Amino acid sequence: MKIYDAKPILVGLAIFLGITTFPFWYNGGKASPPPEPKLDTPVISKMEKKECVASKDYMRKSHMALLNEWRTEAVRKANRYYVTAGGKLYPVSLQRGCLKCHSNKADFCDQCHNYIGLKPYCWDCHLSPQEKKTTTQVAEGE
């Protein structure tokens, strides 16, 4: 084989490898695109003004702090309702609050968390929307 024949072969080989290994690197860790948390749930789609329980900026940065606060309020002080800055009332609850609107946990919460390799342990006890209740999990709505 003459040396000038090598180039198309290498290009062909690169394309072949690219195609055959595509499924592996496309979904592989670092190569995946940044998360796009989806807001197109039934409840959010019906909202006239699409607002969270606090500003988007605050929620993006501090939802874990808010959740902590909610847990303390609910469990220690039995405050079951949260009033937003705009005067709206929401149940202080992961399931009946956050996940009522964000019912697409896999396409919302998990999108971001998977991206940074975070696995909040909350779902050991709390139900995520797709799951059926088991006796070991927290019963909601009582």
To ligand HEC, the closest distance from the beta carbon of 25 in angstroms equals 24
For the chain, the straight-line distance linking the first and the last C-alpha, in angstroms and rounded, comes to 78
Q: How far, CA to CA in Å, does 65 sit from each of 68, 98, 142? A: 5, 14, 24
**Which residues, numbered 57-116, are part of the site for ligand HEC (CB under 6 A)?**
59-60, 63-64, 66-67, 70-71, 74-75, 90, 92-95, 97-98, 100-102, 108-109, 112-113, 116
Query: Exposed, middle or buried, 105 (CB in 10 Å: 0-12/13-18/19+)?
Result: buried
Contacts of residue 111, Cβ cutoff 8 Å, sequence gap at least 6:
35, 36, 37, 38
When the beta carbons of 7 and 49 are compared against ligand HEC, the nearer one is: 49
User: Binding residues for ligand HEC, per CB under 6 A?
Assistant: 37, 39, 44, 47, 50-53, 56, 59-60, 63-64, 66-67, 70-71, 74-75, 90, 92-95, 97-98, 100-102, 108-109, 112-113, 116, 118, 120-122, 124-126, 138, 140
